[in-house]
Amino acid sequence: MAKTQQEYEKMAQSLTYPTQAFIGGKFIDAKSGKTSETVNPATGKVFASFSSCDENDVDEAVKIARKAFDSGVWSKMHPTERKKVLLKYADILESKLEELAVLETLDSGKPIGEVMSTDIPEAVHAIRWHAEFTDKRYGQVSPSGDGAVGLVTKEAVGVVACIMPWNFPIMTTTWKLAPALAEGNSVILKPASQTSLTTLRLAELAAEAGIPEGVLQVLPGSGSVIGKALGLHMGVNAISFTGSTEVGSQLLEYSAKSNLKKISLELGGKSPFVLCDDVKDLNKAVNAALAASFWNTGQNCTANTRIFVPNNRKDEFVELMLKGLEKDWHIGDPMNPANNMGPMISESHFKNVMHYVEKGVSEGCKVATGGHALNIGSGIYVAPTLFVDPKMDSEIITHEIFGPVSCIIGVNSNEEAIKLANDTNYGLQATLFTDNLQNAHIYARQLKAGTVSVNKYCEGDITTPFGGLKMSGFGGQDNAEAAHEQYSELKTIFINLE
């Protein structure tokens, strides 16, 4: 049974957790001895200090990861045995649901109910799915005729670094960690500075599950130091990154300047929501538009922040959104299981989001609700905000805000909606609502996004590849078999039979 806020707070105070770097199966200080403090976004209070690694720790982690890889302790383990270890890992995580949720909420300010019902179950599911795939991954035999056998095989890349964002720490980490380990790689995780806590605990639990020493490293510390050092390192074979478009393009530079390591980028978005003019009942679409705008307090790469609705339904749509917001979306302390929206991740991010909110207000754009900060807890809570009909060249339409801020835009036709929806440099996800089967197919094809969700707001599921088009991504996808391609390389073995 779900606990109360007081019970979760008590757990948060009594739980112990690792705060050092995890290298070679041990928790150790950064070589420099440096640490940095971490804050609970809900209260603004420092609750722990983490080791702050630098280039020297990166060197050490890469050396140990390589040694583990070359030893074959994991990379050459029979796939079925690797699968068993990963399945055990999933079981352990599942058994720690409450503890992990409390830690995640403490560190990231994510609403605890959401973490318990979505982030951790999804993470467990992702590990199981990729674990099951471990011993079901086949190569190919080429149609090379009787004179030869061409084997197209898949091999682990070697040492893989995963550089993570702060918005879904456990979930996105397992999206990368599970397929990378399933393929037999050694992995170095670099969590976002704001959210190292659960990643370090995940490493501890991985060791408990039987992932051998040296196969998994976690380096807490600054991205501009560690991320850059990993990007430039000659011993790292691949990097999987989720984060901003700016850092993503820097990683491509690091790769070009070093060993041409494989780079997979899951980047930002400014995703559209299109309500077609054939939709009769608006309720389902309105609920989806609310989730698309406010899930994870808008700190979500697929947040739908440009909602296109027919002009003749706009007033009704806005009114229903306001009603739904009041009924189903509750902002406040994330340790309170009744809340499903919390604070911004940090004060500096709060300021970024408020910059856009104030910009929208000062441009004279109609504010249907919100448009201001909220005086709760640490003071970095932004009121869920809906703008109506901003100018198409205003910053709130062109820039990713990454907060609970969304825009509703009236259009005169489905075609106009699709044209405006595609008028962005991003292309991560798009939502389409229609009652008409033909429209569903025609417009889903026309929307330029890595995932188009029809009659639901979602990112697909573990069985469907997730990644962006245009400036939302490049070089590989998370989830499904596609994720395994990020962490493996094709090799041809051509045997002459003549």
Q: Which of 95, 224, 312, 348 binds ligand NAP (CB under 6 A)?
A: 224
- 60, 114, 183, 266: the catalytic one is 266
Give the residue with the Cβ less far from Mg ion, 194 or 255: 194
Beta strands in 221-356 (DSSP E): 238-242, 262-266, 271-275, 304-310
Q: What's the token pair of residue 50?
A: 């983490």
Within 10 angstroms of residue 392's Cβ, the number of other Cβ atoms is 12
**Interacting residues of 477 by C-beta distance below 8 A, sequence separation 6+:** 264, 266, 450, 465, 466, 467, 483, 486
Residue 84: Cβ within 10 Å count: 17
**Binding of residue 190 to ligand NAP (CB under 6 A):** yes
CA–CA–CA angle 493, 496, 498 (5° rounding): 170
Asked whether position 400 contacts ligand NAP by CB under 6 A, the answer is yes
Shortest Cβ 247–ligand NAP spacing (Å): 4
* Other beta carbons within 10 Å of 1: 2
Is position 163 an interface residue for ligand NAP (rule: CB under 6 A)? yes
Binding mask 354-393 for Mg ion (x = CB under 5 A): ----------------------------------------
According to the binding rule CB under 6 A, does residue 487 interact with ligand NAP? Answer: no
> Is 55 labeled as catalytic in the residue annotation?
no
* Tokens linked to 93: 């995580």
> Is 227 one of the binding residues for ligand NAP (CB under 6 A)?
yes
Backbone angles phi, psi at 183, to 5 degrees: -75, -10
* 275 phi and psi angles, rounded to 5 deg: -100, 115
Backbone angles phi, psi at 299, to 5 degrees: -85, 70
CA distance 204 to 201: 5
By CB under 6 A, is residue 62 in contact with ligand NAP? no
Q: Are 197 and 48 in contact (CB under 8 A)?
A: yes
Q: How far apart are CA 242 and CA 173, in angstroms?
A: 9
C-beta of 366: minimal distance to Mg ion in Å? 35
Taking the complex as a whole, the smallest distance from the CB of residue 337 to Mg ion amounts, in Å, to: 20
Residues 291-310 touching ligand NAP, rule: CB under 6 A, are 301
Decide if 266 is catalytic: yes
Minimum CB–partner distance for residue 4 and ligand NAP (Å)? 30
Distance CA 2, CA 405 (A): 30
Candidates 202-210, 226-234, 285-293, 373-381 — which segment interacts with ligand NAP by CB under 6 A? 226-234
Instruction: Choose the contact partner of 242 out of Mg ion, ligand NAP, none; CB within 5 to 8 A by kind.
Output: ligand NAP
Binding to Mg ion (CB under 5 A): which residues in 88-127? 107
Binding site for ligand NAP (CB under 6 A): 163-167, 190, 192-193, 222-224, 227-228, 231, 242-244, 247, 250-251, 266-269, 301, 400, 402, 428, 468, 473
Residues involved in catalysis: 266, 301
